[in-house]
Amino acid sequence: MATHIDGSGIDRVLADAVSDGAVPHVAAIVADRDGVLYEGGAGIRIAGESDDPVGTSTHFRIMSMTKMVCTVAALQQKERGELDFDAPVEEYVPDFADVKVLEGFDGDEPILVEPRTKATVHHLVTHTSGLGYWFWNDQLVKYEAATGVPNVVPGSMAAFGAPMTAHPGEKYVYGINTDWLGRVVEAVASKRLDAVIDEGIAGPLGMSSTTFHPDQTQMDNAVTVHVKGEDGTWASAGNILNTEPDWWAGGHGLFSTPRDYIRFEQALLRGGELNGVRILDEATVDAAFTNQIGDLDFPAEIPTADPPITDTMYAGPGNKWGYGLLLNSHDIPGRRRAGTGSWAGLFNTHFFIDRTTGICASIYTNSLPFITRHEAWKLYGDFEEAVYAAL
């Protein structure tokens, strides 16, 4: 049975981050295989508008932490023999055949060529199709400006007109792969992604607060996205994303609470099962925590192409990607062990699952820019160090 750890050091990290202005608010949670070890929060839900304290039952836009949920939905279909990861994407979603590779520009005119090989579902799951995000890809920034093709934020189907920026299988490029994967999952299931996730993951795991379309009560419990004004104080920028998009985004669409998402993390920590409910076979979970990109590496550094949205990401050398998870290649002193699976969300949410130590944890704020080096990124590290010190 899980027993609570002394969380005073973690409490201090969270409170200091809010009082120092590093983040507008924060909630965090830690669990082992048997239950929650720590939960806490600091700050208020909406600066200048709501004095509600932020905690582990508060709703957050988890953005790209959605990706692992969508990936698990695809892995469930793979286990049932319904989805072939080696099949070309266009076999499931025919309009993928129209996606070309951007090889530069002739003036302002994009140079688009046919991919050297067909992108497979495996390429989508591992971000090796060549599809990118504008905020870490200056070529896509230029392409969107030249063509009017939108990024995924407005929730328009037109976002699927974006090209690849590398040929499939030749490079790790983080991007809209999981949005396409969500459409693959829908095609296989013959139902919308929200229903697939409700029936196969959120429902079985008791994640009743995890949804693409929060009701009014849930919205009244949600933080908004915060940005800093010129005076250095945090202010609400609203919800930013379209609440009625053309499609449910497998790459970034979910709202959740720390208490809900930790159940998903625990299921992965326990090899695919929680409280007698199995969502994945143990061998599938092992594969998710195993290098799936071969000799390719997750980039040691990804420069920002849109500073108001994200800082540069400094991941360090030699990391790999599994199924939906960044895998660190070595132990980090005082922190996670080699083979830990993790990822984050654009509004500064972050989770990790350390199967060697036997813990999982996540930390949440909703703010921009992403991973500011001396603010949110530093908070992630301070939180993690405090967690391991308390074990």
End-to-end CA distance of the chain: 15
364 catalytic? Reply is no
Question: What is the helix (H) or strand (E) element at residue 266, kind and residue range?
Answer: helix 258-269
- Among candidate residues 38, 67, 78, 364, the one labeled active-site is 67
Closest to 348 in 3D by CA, of 271, 240, 250, 248: 240
Three-state secondary structure call for residue 370:
strand
How does strand 349-354 pair with strand 341-345? antiparallel
> Residues of 309-318 as b/e, b for ≥16 C-beta within 10 angstroms?
bbbebeeeee
Question: What is the helix (H) or strand (E) element at residue 13, kind and residue range?
Answer: helix 8-19
Instruction: Name every residue whose Cβ is closer than 8 Å to that of residue 332 and which is 6 or more positions away in sequence.
Output: none
- Among candidate residues 64, 209, 342, 367, the one labeled active-site is 64
Instruction: Name every residue whose Cβ is closer than 8 Å to that of residue 274 and which is 6 or more positions away in sequence.
Output: 205, 263, 266, 267
- Among candidate residues 133, 172, 174, 323, the one labeled active-site is 174
67 catalytic? Reply is yes
| Inter-axis angle of helices 66-79 and 258-269, nearest 10 | 40
174 catalytic? Reply is yes
Q: Output the CA torsion sign for 271, 272, 278, 283.
A: negative
Catalytic (active-site) positions: 64, 67, 174
